[in-house]
Chains A and B, each alone.
Chain A
Amino acid sequence: MKDILKMVVVLTLICAVSGLTLAAVYDVTKGPIEYARLKNVKEPAVKAVLSGYDNDPIKDRVQIPIGTDKKGKPVNLVVFPAKKGGKTFAVAFEGAGSGYGGNIGVMVGFNLADNNISGISIVGHSETPGLGARITETQFTDSFKGKSLAKELTTDDINALSGATLSSKGSVAAVNQARGLLEKYRDKIVQGG
């Protein structure tokens, strides 16, 4: 009996100490992990769509709550602001639209003053290689540059890919979704930056 008690006590103690220590480590590393992840995963796309800034858009990111997912967890829009001399002149964030093979994720950069698109970069897709996957090529993405935000884009506005209508449409839909988010949360996006 005494043996069993000792076993239970020792194991419980070890588990408790381990749990507490890990919770503490998790708490300390939470911030740096999020930063490191965004820095490695998102920064290349952010760099591709924004230019001329002197801040660290990853570090200055702004989280804007935009609703909840199926399980009721809050979903945040992560906005990367580009600043010069401390003033935000452009922002970048992601939009998504459905293409031929699944969702297309697009990082879209917006010039706030000129109210146009500073650039886009495809961050995730599962389109057909050689066909729809050409949406990642610059001759496609560059055709979004400088487009006005006054109205929604259509495939006529850009250099749509022949033979990959759905992929082109999906990319445009993703950009339009991002544009919609900018309209809806403009105050918060600009203020936050």
Chain B
Amino acid sequence: MAVVKEFTKGFWDVLPPFRLVLGLCPVLAVTTSAENGAGMGLATTFVLVCSNVLVSLLRKIIPSKVRIAAYIVIIASFVVMVELLMQAYSYPLYQALGIFIPLIVVNCIILGRAEAFAGKNGVAASAADGLGIGLGFTISLFVLGGIREIIGNGTFLGLHVLGTGYEPFTFMVRAPGAFVSLGVMLALINWISARLEARKRRNAS
């Protein structure tokens, strides 16, 4: 049961980047479309799961003084792997995500999970933690990318969903729109969780 809990917490309790306000750069930069968002999310998930598993396996071997250096090497290796695989098998996506693929290495979520979770817990729990948080991150990016794509470009996954007469509100796919839409979505999540919290308290009393 514990493993299931480690997996599901990533979808709400610590849902990145909203609950866990980390790794914002790729969130802002690549969510110009749902597809890019999902691609970035999955690449991050792959690195997160692999590094979590490896860090957890090696947690008793790595001396604590050099653990951060060791984590960085492990994470960077998986990032390079993703870079190579994506170039070979999904080149257009690689081009769309550009510099943000190598920058997965400094995504604070990954180092954060290695330090806060995988370095202290078993392999199964760490894998579940990585997968849950990674998928939560992917869904967030997909939704945010979808919203920005629909409003800013009138399309969803490349399909015209608002009809050809729709005048795209390009603000949304530009840089300022990235900040504003993420901020508004964060406020929305705050609002929902405040409501849930209030209901829970009412039920308890």
Tell yes or no: B194 within 8 A of A by CB.
no
**A residues 12-34 in Cβ contact with B at 8 Å:** 14-15, 18, 21-22, 25-26, 29, 32-33
- Interface residues of B, CB < 8 Å — how many? 22
Judge if A10 is at the interface, Cβ distance under 8 Å.
yes
Q: Which of B62, B77, B84, B91 contacts A18 (CB 8 A)?
A: B77
| Assembly CA distance A40 to B91 (angstroms) | 7
- Min Cβ gap A145→B in Å is 30
Q: Name the A residues within 8 Å of B61 (CB-CB).
A: 10
* Size band of the interface chain A makes with B: 10 to 19
Q: Which residue of B62, B85, B95 contacts A29 across the interface (Cβ within 8 Å)? A: B85
Our pick among A6, A18, A29, A37 for the contact of B73 (Cβ within 8 Å) is A18
Main SS class of interface, A: helix
Which listed residue, A6, A7, A14, A39, touches B91 by the CB 8 Å rule? A39
Chain B: CB-nearest residue to A11: B66
Within the complex, the shortest CB–CB distance from A45 to chain B, in Å, comes to: 16
- B91:A21 contact, CB within 8 angstroms: no
Q: Are A14 and B74 in contact (CB under 8 A)?
A: yes
Contact (Cβ within 8 A) A11 B84: no
Which residues of B are found within 8 Å of A18, using beta-carbon distances?
Answer: 73-74, 76-77
Q: Nearest Cβ in chain B — how far from A24, in angstroms?
A: 10
> B89 contacts A32, CB within 8 Å?
yes
Note all chain B residues with C-beta closer than 8 A to A25. 80-81, 84-85
Determine the distance from Cα of A57 to Cα of B129 in the docked complex, in whole angstroms.
46
Docked complex Cα distance between A10 and B67 (Å): 10
Confirm or deny: A36 has a beta carbon within 8 angstroms of a beta carbon on chain B.
yes
Contact of B66 among A7, A22, A36, A37 (CB under 8 A): A7
Among B65, B77, B80, B91, the residue within 8 A (CB) of A36 is: B91
A29 to B87, CA, bound (A): 8
B residues near A, CB below 8 A?
58, 61-63, 65-66, 69-70, 73-74, 76-77, 80-81, 84-85, 87-89, 91-92, 95
Contact in complex: A11, B87 (CB < 8 Å): no
Q: Which residues of B contact A40 (CB under 8 A)?
A: 91-92, 95
Q: How far is A112 from B80 in the complex, measured between Cα atoms in Å?
A: 43
In the assembled complex, the Cα of A18 lies from the Cα of B58 at a distance in Å of 14
Chain B residues with CB under 8 Å of A39's CB are 91
User: Provided the pairs A7-B65, A10-B61 are in contact, do residues A36 and B73 lie with their beta carbons within 8 angstroms?
Assistant: no
How far does the alpha carbon of A15 sit from the alpha carbon of B74 in the complex, in Å? 8
Distance, CA A175 to CA B70, complexed state (A): 53
| Interfacial chain A residues near B80, Cβ < 8 Å | 22, 25
Bound complex: CA A59 to CA B62 (Å): 46
Chain A residues whose CB sits within 8 angstroms of the CB of B92 once the complex forms? 40
Task: Please tell me if the beta carbons of B88 and A29 are within 8 angstroms of each other in the complex.
Answer: yes
Contact B63 A37 (CB under 8 A): no
Q: How far is the CA of A10 from the CA of B74 in the complex (A)?
A: 12
**Chain A, residue nearest B70 (CB):** A14
Q: Which residues of B contact A15 (CB under 8 A)?
A: 73
How many angstroms between the C-alpha atoms of A174 and B3 in the bound complex? 63
C-alpha spacing A176/B77, complex, angstroms: 46
Query: Which of A3, A6, A26, A36 contacts B89 (CB under 8 A)?
Result: A36
Q: Which residue of A lies closest to B71 (CB)?
A: A14
Q: How far is the CA of A11 from the CA of B85 in the complex (A)?
A: 26
Nearest chain A residue, comparing its CB with the CB of B92: A40
28 residue pairs bridging A and B, Cβ less than 8 Å apart: A7-B63, A7-B65, A10-B61, A10-B62, A10-B70, A11-B73, A14-B62, A14-B70, A14-B73, A18-B73, A18-B77, A21-B77, A22-B77, A22-B81, A25-B81, A26-B84, A29-B85, A29-B88, A33-B84, A33-B87, A33-B88, A36-B87, A36-B88, A36-B91, A37-B87, A39-B91, A40-B92, A40-B95
In the complex, chain A residues 51-106 whose Cβ is within 8 Å of any chain B Cβ? none
